[in-house]
Structure 1
Amino acid sequence: MYRYSNGQISLADFKQPVGMNLKENNRWVKKAQTIPWLEIEKRYAALFTNRKGNVAKPLRLALGACIIQAEYGFSDEETALMIQENPYLQYFCGYPGYDDEKLPFDPSLMVYFRKRLTPEVLGEINEMIVRDAKERQAKEAESKDDSDDSDDHPGGSGNSDTMIVDATCAPSNIRYPQDVSLLNEARENAENLLDVLHDPAEGKKPRTYRKRARKDYLKYTRCRKHTAKMTRKAIGNQLTYLRRDLDAVDGKLSLGKSLTTRQMERLDTIRTIYEQQKYMYDNRTHSVPDRIVSVSQPFVRPIVRGKAGKPVEFGAKLDISVVDGWTRLECCSFDAYNEAGNLQEMAERFREREGHYPSRILADKIYRNRENLSYCKEHGIWLSGPALGRPKKGEARDKAQDYRDECERVEVERRFSLAKRKCGMGLVTAKLRETAAHVIAMSVLVLNLRKIQCAFLQLLAFLRASLSPKQKWAIVQ
């Protein structure tokens, strides 16, 4: 087995498979050359130190595997197999040569990789990649005639650049939550816990009426139309069955029986579901604070978005900012929040990075509250959108500028669209809170890698066009 390389190796030094000539212009070769591996390795190598009984995996292999998974949407098993079979992916992950003898790692280690590469760590790695790419762009721009951007409107305080902000939801891969199906799943989990606690030598198992409960659930779900009276009766029945199961489990625990840590967490989740559903049933309401919508992922909350076709989504809510095409994850939470409260923190983080405030912030109307408007006025930042309240008499709005701002703000929507369609944010399949947050942060990092790749392809096309103009003209004719 080859030893991994922590630093950057050239494709000429890579031991290629027999009969195959790897290309320098391959996207994974170019992508590997745009990531500052040495700097990242020095900063975060301690995260992947050796543990007892396990062989240590280098950071480049772990980070490379997560990037490949986010790029293609592979499962953990498919990711390990693709790295084993593809020499380009092995070069990207730091192999000194092609090796297909065995898997690079056990697929179960992908969970360990995702836990170690937290959103905070990925945020700093994202900054390293963006900073390295901007330095290369600055060197390339020295030989070109760069004109000032007339849309930035630098203020008298020295502010410059434009920051575009917006919020969205990254839906988790859960079944659409309905009260009857959620209670039925909780009841089945409670029955499984009772089976674990019961010892046949102790005599008869406590009666749970599981067959009757299953029959009542199927009778409800097989009806094509559900009236409110029918739904309320089904919820009441499932609550009765679940209460009986929880009493039986409590009786077993009172006798000195024990469950594992994971099973106790599941039991606490089931208790909370019962309490919430019982409260909504007794008070004839459909809302409760911190409502649980999934037994397996109790941290997922309903996020009211108000979008056409999807008024409510179930997953993490997040804020991103886009500056010069570079995307950054500003906030991510599984609890609903008002995104307007994060605008000032995003502007302060911008000042820490760049040394000055942005001259413009393009945001949705929800961000234009009194606190944000006064903050932007104090620091010389122009916040897009109309003023609060009714238009003043004789006020003339610059409609052309408003239209340009709205067109530029579409850039953040394109970032969301690309992240959800191509980078894994559209459906988060991770089951744990920390791994789900990793998937969202990794999708933002992959967005910036895609931008670097597109910039390289555009430069390559420009060079080809400039080096062979006669040949291009002949082809056109």
Structure 2
Amino acid sequence: MRDQQLFQPQDYLTPKWYLFKSSKLGNVYDSIPWEQLSACLPKKNKGPGAPSWFSPQGMFGLMFLKAYLNLSDEKLIARFNTDWSLQLFCNKLLQDHQKIKDKAILSRIRTYMADHTDWQQLQEVLLQHWKTDMHNTHVLLMDATCYESYIRFPTDVKLLWESCQWVFEKQLYRYCKILGVKRPGSKYIDQKRMQMSYDRSRKKTYKAGRKRKKSLIYLLSKGLGQLQCLLNENPQIQLHLHERTYLKTIKKIIEQQQFLQQHPAKELKNRIVSLPKAYVRPIVRGKEAKRVEFGMKAHLLQVDGICFIDTMEFRAFNESTRLKLSSLKHRSIFGSLHQLGADRIYATNKNRKYLTEKKIFTCFPKKGPKVNNPAESQLRSLISSQRATVMEGSFGVHKTAYGLNKIKVKGEKREMIHVFFAVMMANAVKISKRKSEQAPLLQAA
């Protein structure tokens, strides 16, 4: 594998290269500033594994292709081995007898990118490169959306039972077998039968659920105590990092569930809803189809159909407080800002005052006595229509075409970098289409 060759300058004269450059993927390739992006990574690859196989351009290329093709990691590597156009895109042309056998290489590249890059810096590089192909940069649209994580719908009973399974089956009983000691007494087998009976029941009443939670809280607290005693008596047992993280998460879960059991009417902040993705929080959206979503809330800005990310957080936040900062970001990149389109949630008195001082026209409905100016009403309606159709439509494109419907990537930073490359790849496709449409016009002129 290490005898693979990077794409050499003489390879630019081959028929493969000309066919690649005339394809849609080749147009996307031309719209990405590879040298500037590669400069954002460390000059020397740090850490074993994936970075040693690919150049910086190859790592960025794989991340873009992951979103462009909307494939799983394993299927993307299989496609990469048999498609020379993808290899040219990543600057890694394999020989006829070579192929990548490591199925986890893309996961390690994603981890390396998340640890050694700042997505805001990468976004600034891309926007500086693309802004020459953007028009109407004086108009800014903004809105927030939620990119959901791939987790099962959370309930307290499911969360407690998963924690009990991990403590007893994957830790306590496994270490008892390794050490050759007798299992400590518990009612885990009886509770397992009761849990199976509860899962099979079609109607899960509130009373039955509360009874199950009470039993599982008692079982989990007992199992944690027994596991801690076993670890104290056998110091040769060293938990791995992910096991220590799971154990810390389970201790936090039982604290929260005990609080909810004692205070059922009180609201609990920072509630854990998933054991493998403990950073995910419930986000109340108030939609008719989905009242609550579980994942990342992102505040996006759009200029001339090109989206860029203002912030991404795994918690609920009020996007109206980001208006002033978002407008300043727009001015720093594109210069002037004269028109702004946003939802009614942004139309607070504080935001209205700021926009009036900066002489920025908005689509917000007027307050007080209304003077109907036909030109202003028409412009306000046009901006509002663009925000509701073009911008919200781009959210649907991200989720359906670029793999952001249900994010299966695990890890807070890795999910963020995954969302970033998907949004930027959608922008690169739009920029490449504009350039390909303008090329015949320029040749005719």
- For normalisation by structure 1, the TM-score amounts to 0.83
Q: Which moved more, 1:241-250 or 1:193-202?
A: 193-202
Cα distance in structure 2, aligned partners of 1:48 and 1:422: 32
Q: Deviations over 1:287-315 (max 9, x none)?
A: 41110000001000001111111010000
Offset at residue 216 of structure 1 (A): 1.2
Change (3 A) 1:51 1:175: closer
Q: 1:418 corresponds to which residue? A: 397
Provide the rounded CA distance (Å) in 2 between the counterparts of 1:205 and 1:224: 34
Contact 1:80 1:103 in 2 (8 A): no
Structure 1 equivalent of residue 205 of structure 2: 227
Query: Does structure 2 retain, via aligned residues, the 8 Å contact 1:14–1:91?
Result: no
Q: 2:301 aligns with which of 308, 313, 321?
A: 321
2:405 is paired with a residue of what secondary structure? Answer: coil
**SS at 1:48's partner residue?**
coil
Output the CA distance in 2 between the equivalents of 1:298 and 1:228: 25
Q: Structure 1 residue 202: deviation in Å? A: 5.9
Equivalent of residue 374 in structure 1, options 329, 353, 362 = 353
Choose from 179, 199, 204 the match for 2:182: 204
- Equivalence for 2:152: 175
Question: What is the CA–CA distance in structure 1 between the aligned matches of 2:225 and 2:240, rounded to whole Å?
Answer: 19
- Of residues 25-34 and 171-180 in structure 1, the stretch that sits farther from structure 2 once superposed is 25-34
| Contact residue 48 and residue 56 of structure 1 kept, 8 A | no
Q: Distance in 1 between matches of 2:50 and 2:420?
A: 30
Q: What is the Cα-based RMSD across aligned positions, in Å?
A: 2.9
Q: Does residue 1:249 correspond to 2:227, yes or no? A: yes
Q: Provide, for residues 165-197 of structure 1, a one-character-per-residue CA deviation record: whole Å limited to 9, x for no partner.
A: 000110000000011111110110111221244
- Residue 193 of structure 1 is aligned with which of 154, 164, 171? 171
Aligned to 2:368: 392
Q: Deviations over 1:341-376 (max 9, x none)?
A: 2111111111221234x1122111111222222222
Relative distance call for 1:54 and 1:202 in structure 2 (3 A) is same
Q: Which amino acid in 2 is paired with 1:99? A: Q
Is the alpha carbon distance of 1:163 and 1:48 closer, same or farther for their aligned partners in structure 2, counting shifts above 3 Å? farther
How far, CA to CA, are the matches of 2:267 and 2:245 in structure 1?
Answer: 23
Query: 1:76-134, CA deviations, whole angstroms, 9 ceiling, x for partnerless residues?
Result: 22222211110111111113x45343334733232232123349634433433343344
CA distance in 1, matches of 2:399, 2:333: 27
Aligned twin of 1:342: 322
> What is the one-letter code of the residue matched to 1:373?
R
Stretch of structure 1 that moved more, 283-292 or 315-324: 283-292
1:106 lines up with 2:102 in the alignment: yes
In the TM superposition, what whole-angstrom CA distance separates every residue of 1:125-172 from its partner, at most 9, and x where no partner exists? Answer: 34333433443x48xxxxxxxxx96xxxxxxxxxx7011000011000
Other-structure match for 2:52: 55
Give the residue type in structure 1 aligned to 2:401. K
1:54 Cα shift? 7.5
Decide whether the 8 Å contact of 1:328 with 1:444 is kept in 2: yes
Q: 1:207 Cα deviation (Å)?
A: 1.8
Q: Which residue of 1 aligns with 2:425?
A: 446
Q: Does 1:34 find its partner at 2:14?
A: no
Q: Distance in 1 between matches of 2:417 and 2:50?
A: 26
Give the 3 Å change call, closer, same or farther, for CA 449–394 of structure 1 in structure 2. closer
8 Å CA contact 1:165–1:363 kept in 2: the answer is yes
Q: Closer, same or farther in 2 for the Cα pair 1:459/1:52, shift >3 Å?
A: closer
Farther-moved stretch of structure 1 (246-255 vs 101-110):
101-110
By how many angstroms is 1:41 displaced?
A: 2.5
CA deviations over 1:438-474 (Å, ceiling 9, x no partner): 111111111111102322443467689x79xxxxxxx
Counterpart for residue 297 of structure 1: 277
Q: Which one of 381, 396, 410 corresponds to residue 431 of structure 1?
A: 410
* Structure 2 Cα separation of the partners of residues 256 and 91 of structure 1: 54
Of 312-321 and 214-223, more deviation after overlay is shown by: 214-223
Higher mean C-alpha deviation, range 455-464 or range 39-48: 455-464
For 2:310, the aligned partner's letter is E
Residue 236 to residue 50, structure 1, CA distance change in 2 (3 Å): closer
The residue type paired with residue 244 of structure 2 is M
Does the aligned pair in 2 maintain the 1:123–1:441 contact within 8 Å? no
* Alignment partner, residue 145 of structure 1: none
How many residues are paired up? 436
**C-alpha distance after superposition, 1:188-229 (max 9, x if no partner):** 011122124435656321123222111111111211112211
Counterparts of 2:123 and 2:53 in 1: how far apart (Å)?
Answer: 24
User: Which residue number corresponds to residue 13 of structure 2?
Assistant: 13
Distance 1:395 1:429 in 2: 51
Task: List gaps (5 residues or longer) in structure 2.
Answer: none
The structure-2 alpha-carbon separation of the partners of 1:53 and 1:307, relative to structure 1 and needing over 3 Å to count, comes to: closer
- 1:49–1:57 contact (8 Å) kept in structure 2: no
Moved more, 22-31 or 393-402: 393-402
Q: In the superposition, relative to structure 1, how do residues 401 and 36 fare at CA in structure 2: closer, same or farther (>3 Å)?
A: closer
Alpha-carbon distance in structure 2 between the residues aligned to 1:31 and 1:283: 55
Shift of 1:256: 4.4
**Structure 1 residue 404: Cα displacement:** 1.4
Q: What is the aligned partner in structure 2 of residue 94 from structure 1?
A: 91
Q: Judging changes above 3 Å, is the alpha-carbon distance between structure 1 residues 205 and 130 closer, same or farther for their aligned structure 2 residues?
A: same
Q: Distance in 1 between matches of 2:96 and 2:161?
A: 47
Aligned partner letter, 2:407: V
2:379 corresponds to which residue? 401
Q: Which residue of 1 aligns with 2:193?
A: 215
Does the 8 A contact of 2:51 with 2:59 survive in 1? no
**Cα distance change, pair 325–209 in 1 and its aligned pair in 2 (3 A):** same
Contact 1:183 1:239 in 2 (8 A): yes
Give the deviation of 1:27 after TM superposition.
1.3
Check if 1:68 corresponds to 2:62: no
1:45, CA displacement in angstroms? 5.0
C-alpha change, 1:10 and 1:216, in structure 2 (3 Å) is farther
Of the candidates 160, 163, 166, which is equivalent to residue 143 of structure 2? Answer: 166
State the structure with more CA Rg: 1
Q: Following the alignment from structure 1 to structure 2, what is the Cα–Cα distance between the partners of residues 359 and 346?
A: 14
* Alignment partner of 2:262 out of 282, 288, 311: 282
**Partners of 2:14 and 2:38 in 1: CA distance:** 20
